[in-house]
Amino acid sequence: MREVSVNERLRLARIALHWLIEPGNEAVHRMVNANGPLRALERLVEGDVPDPQLRGAAAARMSAGDPHQMAETALVRAERLGARIVIPEDDEWPQAVRDLTNLLGRPAESRIDRDVAPPLCLWVRGVSRLDEAFAQSVAVVGARASTHYGEHVATTMAYELAEREWTVVSGGAHGIDAAAHRGALNAGGLTIAVLACGVDRPYPSGNTALFDRIAETGLLVSEWPPGSVPVRHRFLIRNRVIAAATRGTVVVEASARSGASQTLRRAMALGRRPMVVPGPVTSAMSVGCHEMVREHPEVRLVTGVAHVLEEIGHIGSDLAPRPRGPERPHDGLDAESAMVLESVPRRGSAGADELAARAGLDLRTAMRKLTLLESLGFLTRRGSGYALAPKPRSGKAGASKAAAVKAGTGGRSGRVATPSRAHDDPAAGAAS
Amino acid sequence: MREVSVNERLRLARIALHWLIEPGNEAVHRMVNANGPLRALERLVEGDVPDPQLRGAAAARMSAGDPHQMAETALVRAERLGARIVIPEDDEWPQAVRDLTNLLGRPAESRIDRDVAPPLCLWVRGVSRLDEAFAQSVAVVGARASTHYGEHVATTMAYELAEREWTVVSGGAHGIDAAAHRGALNAGGLTIAVLACGVDRPYPSGNTALFDRIAETGLLVSEWPPGSVPVRHRFLIRNRVIAAATRGTVVVEASARSGASQTLRRAMALGRRPMVVPGPVTSAMSVGCHEMVREHPEVRLVTGVAHVLEEIGHIGSDLAPRPRGPERPHDGLDAESAMVLESVPRRGSAGADELAARAGLDLRTAMRKLTLLESLGFLTRRGSGYALAPKPRSGKAGASKAAAVKAGTGGRSGRVATPSRAHDDPAAGAAS
């Protein structure tokens, strides 16, 4: 056996521990905390643990091989592949995953809820530093049986996040996950696939080309050593890393009772931002998203990258502008002026008292508003009455004046109303 | 002039008041409360009101005709049409609109926000009693420029509400409103169009056939006398009646800055249930709905009639069942059994210690789970090992046993898992 440094022994011990007992185990986490990884491994190998189940599980794995030997083999295999192992003692360890300890000791309904301890080590394929890649990251995850709509939304959102220098983290699965990775790659951004199997044989194999692209410019990350196969509980245990390592999780599509809702609940418990994208109520793939909003007041509905950044962005930057409806003819006018304007017949003219009566205003107020509307170019005098002004070649002059009147400024207003549309429909702008 | 009863004089006074001053006026409301409708009308006619604007508005209208005469004419016109006038003194007055007084005296940004007093009278076309028709009612409203999606959702929701004996109230507009009315009519249910114009010339004229159908089996309702034309502020003032008279308001589609959001805010302020239907984030017609959910925590996202009834239904009835995802192979199994089952190779067999090692369990636990899985029909013994059982003709027997094991009951469980699917995919049921 070749000589190894202390650091390398730590590294090997952590690898061996993940091989001996599935990641996330709370008892192992406590042993490592109390005794260090070397002694924790020794104790497990010697059967020196009080919990018979833990002892038994370690023994069963050891019947398949020697943990130290397995760790060495895994390292060699990884090196051949261009992968590396990162441990908490390394500078590039993503510290955010430590927050997983906050989930320990909570009432657990199942083993999945119990196995929430931070990973002891992470296998990594790709050149970026793990800590830097995760530093400004958001998870975009969702259904494998996604719809075109969901994939479109995931791709667009990931693209726009990547454009804004956010790392897009997902699980490498078919459907929404793959769409999110692709969106980030298309923007030339950083994307990380957190896998539930070895980084040498990412699952599903249908995404092999995608995984190769991710490994080239982004990162493939896993708690399991090269050669590991994905099984159901590994996906669920893996989800805690996605939730913990990112600032927030966006679920794009999810069926009822989806695994995505588990990731979201975990994100919530960790104080990360839980977000969902709504969709057609006629789509089974949006049922899970809608349910999460209905059931958890903390879950935020997001419809685009602006909303996501509003949730996770730095204060003072990346803020979403409020959506604006189409401008309406009367937007720049006060309510009474608008009422007078609407009282003017579409053809011909009407006198001030008739218009006052129609608008339900006193004559004095109506006269004042008529003068205003005339000066803004909405109306013209015709004989003793008022008529709608002909459509102006450019309606902006009068309208921005109107906006200025309302805003009480000299005319420098962002809002521009177009008087021309006032003629189209007596109920234009009305809503039920 | 023919002789009229006290009741008829009240009726005429209320009609005249709505003609003299647009409905919703707070000052008129207070005068009617303090002096009764007859004296309130007298005072307005005589100009005996402190507010010069109110005095002026009444004077302007009176220049177009005598209020008493207008009221008589309106009544005659309505009778010819088969319409009637309903006043608060009548048994069939919908008492819920009285709650509008709760909105009075609040800070108001515009005239629309100020004109929120209850209606003084309502014109009605249709045979049902107003109070009974509104008693169990919900508003389904939304964009005029709706999409097929929105119309589909509105029609379906209204149909299903009507099937459950709920009255569907809307505004008679193109788009979502019309779809809601149609859905209720198709179910043979009661629907009410609350209009912003006379019940004799419902707007828009493109919906004339629809209005005729509504008048036949449901109700057309308006605060404005026959002959009145719709103008923008009337639509907005009308919205308060829809919000107040119903138990809740569902907005199906709404663009940003839509009038529907005003109805919803009003419903909230009145303690009615504000609800919105989500839609594709790619649709401009769902932007308003999503914004309302994001901005107001009280606004509930609803995806179907079950959710609506959950919000407005009587406690103990009409409750929505929780959505269920498709059943998964391992749903009935505890986590450790599922892990053992997934460790079994898809072809061939494996020994107990190999399976224990793969599953990361101690041998004793693994053995126990193997025995259980065998007894449930998931596995068969082959030589010294275990193999996946061939797909059963009916998977239900074993699976319902599994569910029973988990539920700890004798087998009477509603959940049925199908073991056959466990063979399909190593990651079946996994989610990102």
| Model confidence pLDDT, tens digit, residues B57-110 | 999 999 989 999 999 999 999 999 999 999 999 999 999 999 999 989 877 666
Residue B100 belongs to a domain: yes
Cβ contact B196–A336 (<8 Å):
no
| Per-residue pLDDT at B113 | 74
**For A408-412, B140-144, B378-382, which range has the lowest pLDDT when averaged over its residues?**
A408-412
Find, among B187, B178, B193, the residue nearest to B133 by Cα: B193
Cβ contact B236–A431 (<8 Å):
yes
- DSSP-assigned states of every residue in A19-87: HHS-TT-HHHHHHHHHHHHHHHHHHHHHT--S-HHHHHHHHHHHTT--HHHHHHHHHHHHHHHTEEEE-
Chain A positions in Cβ-Cβ contact with residue B291 (cut-off 8 Å): 323
Q: Which of A47, A77, A107 is the last residue of a domain?
A: A77
**B73 and B122 within one domain:** no
The C-alpha angle A406, A409, A410, rounded to 5 degrees, equals 120
Q: Which two tokens stand for residue A26?
A: 């709370």
Q: Which two tokens stand for residue A21?
A: 């007992």
Burial of B336 (0-12, 13-18, 19+ CB in 10 A): buried
Residue type, B99: D
| Per-residue pLDDT at B391 | 65
B12 and B120 in contact (C-beta within 8 Å)?
Answer: no
Residue B192 belongs to a domain: yes
**A120 and A17 within one domain:** no
Residue range B253-276: mean pLDDT, rounded: 90
The 10 Å Cβ neighbour count of residue B94 is: 25
Between residues B4 and B127, which one has the greater pLDDT?
B127
Residue written as token pair 């009455």: A385
**B32 and B178 within one domain:** no
Residue range B387-414: mean pLDDT, rounded: 48
**B236 and B112 within one domain:** yes
| Per-residue pLDDT at A313 | 80
Pairing of strands A385-388, A379-382: antiparallel
d(CA A214, CA A167): 12
**A131 and A53 within one domain:** no
CATH number, domain with residue B184: 3.40.50.450
Q: What is the DSSP letter of A16?
A: H
Residue A55 Cα to chain centre, angstroms: 40
**A107 and A62 within one domain:** no
B191 and B177 in contact (C-beta within 8 Å)?
Answer: no
B150 and B279 in contact (C-beta within 8 Å)?
Answer: yes
Is the predicted pLDDT of residue B289 greater than 90, yes or no?
yes
**A201 and A303 within one domain:** yes
d(CA A189, CA A183): 9
Q: Which of B51, B77, B103 is the last residue of a domain?
A: B77
B16 Cβ partners below 8 Å, 6+ apart? B41, B67, B68, B70, B71
Nearest CB to B258; choose among A286, A300, A325: A325
Find, among B382, B411, B383, the residue nearest to B399 by Cα: B411
Chain B positions in Cβ-Cβ contact with residue A230 (cut-off 8 Å): 426-427, 430
Cβ contact A255–B326 (<8 Å):
yes
Residue A43 belongs to a domain: yes
B101 Cβ partners below 8 Å, 6+ apart? B29, B117, B118
Is the predicted pLDDT of residue B393 greater than 80, yes or no?
no
| Per-residue pLDDT at A425 | 37
- The helix (H) or strand (E) run that includes residue A222 is strand A219-222
A166 and A132 in contact (C-beta within 8 Å)?
Answer: no
Residue A136 belongs to a domain: yes
Find, among A144, A63, A270, A191, the residue nearest to B361 by Cα: A63
Pairing of strands B122-125, B83-86: antiparallel
| Per-residue pLDDT at B418 | 36
Residue B143 belongs to a domain: yes
Chain B interface, mutation test: which of A115, A170, A432, most B Cβ atoms within 10 Å? Answer: A432
- Taking 70 as the pLDDT cut, the residues of chain A under it are 1-3, 108-112, 314-332, 391-432
**A179 and A197 within one domain:** yes
The 10 Å Cβ neighbour count of residue B418 is: 21
Nearest CB to A335; choose among B64, B110, B239: B110
B211 and B172 in contact (C-beta within 8 Å)?
Answer: yes
**A403 and A268 within one domain:** no
Residue A368 Cα to chain centre, angstroms: 52
Residue B322 belongs to a domain: no
**Domain span at A8:** 1-77
Cβ contact B304–A281 (<8 Å):
yes
Burial of B184 (0-12, 13-18, 19+ CB in 10 A): buried
Residue B384 belongs to a domain: yes
d(CA A371, CA A277): 49
| Per-residue pLDDT at A109 | 66
**A219 and A140 within one domain:** yes
Q: What is the DSSP letter of A190?
A: -
Q: How many residues does chain A have?
A: 432
Residue A330 belongs to a domain: no
Pairing of strands B248-251, B385-388: unpaired
| Per-residue pLDDT at B268 | 92
The C-alpha angle B76, B81, B87, rounded to 5 degrees, equals 65
Strands (E), A159-203: 167-170, 191-195
CATH number, domain with residue A375: 1.10.10.10
Cβ contact B258–A233 (<8 Å):
no
B67 Cβ partners below 8 Å, 6+ apart? B16, B17, B19, B20, B41, B45, B61
| Per-residue pLDDT at A111 | 60
Nearest CB to B430; choose among A142, A235, A430: A235
Chain A positions in Cβ-Cβ contact with residue B300 (cut-off 8 Å): 294
Cβ contact B56–A291 (<8 Å):
no
**SS3 track for chain B:** CCCCCHHHHHHHHHHHHHHHCCCCCHHHHHHHHHHHHHHHHHHHHHCCCCCHHHHHHHHHHHCCCCHHHHHHHHHHHHHHHCEEEECCCCCCCCHHHHHHHHHCCCCCCCHHHHCCCCCCCEEEECCCCHHHHHHCEEEEECCCCCCHHHHHHHHHHHHHHHHCCCEEEECCCCCHHHHHHHHHHHCCCCEEEEECCCCCCCCCHHHHHHHHHHHHHCEEEECCCCCCCCCHHHHHHHHHHHHHHCCEEEECCCCCCCHHHHHHHHHHHCCCEEEECCCCCCCHHHHHHHHHHHHCCCCEECCCHHHHHHHHCCCCCCCCCCCCCCCCCCCCCCHHHHHHHHHCCCCCCECHHHHHHHHCCCHHHHHHHHHHHHHCCCEEEECCEEEECCCCCCCHHHHHHHHHHHHCCCCCCCCCCCHHHHHCCCCCCCCC
User: Is A338 near chain B, with CB under 8 Å?
Assistant: yes
Q: Which of B297, B312, B327 is the last residue of a domain?
A: B312
Domain count, chain B: 3
d(CA B239, CA B251): 12
Confidence of residue B318 (pLDDT cuts 50, 70, 90): very low
Chain A positions in Cβ-Cβ contact with residue B288 (cut-off 8 Å): 325
A18 and A121 in contact (C-beta within 8 Å)?
Answer: yes
The 10 Å Cβ neighbour count of residue A317 is: 8
User: Is A304 near chain B, with CB under 8 Å?
Assistant: yes
Which CA distances in Å does B291 have to A297, A322, B297?
15, 9, 11
- The helix (H) or strand (E) run that includes residue A275 is strand A273-276
Q: Which two tokens stand for residue B73?
A: 């004419």
Nearest CB to B336; choose among A111, A153, A203: A111
Which three-class secondary structure state does DSSP give residue A192? strand
**B25 and B108 within one domain:** no
**A375 and A303 within one domain:** no
Cβ contact A307–B294 (<8 Å):
yes
d(CA B205, CA B202): 7
Confidence check on the interface: ipTM exceeds 0.90, yes or no: no
Cβ contact B204–A363 (<8 Å):
no
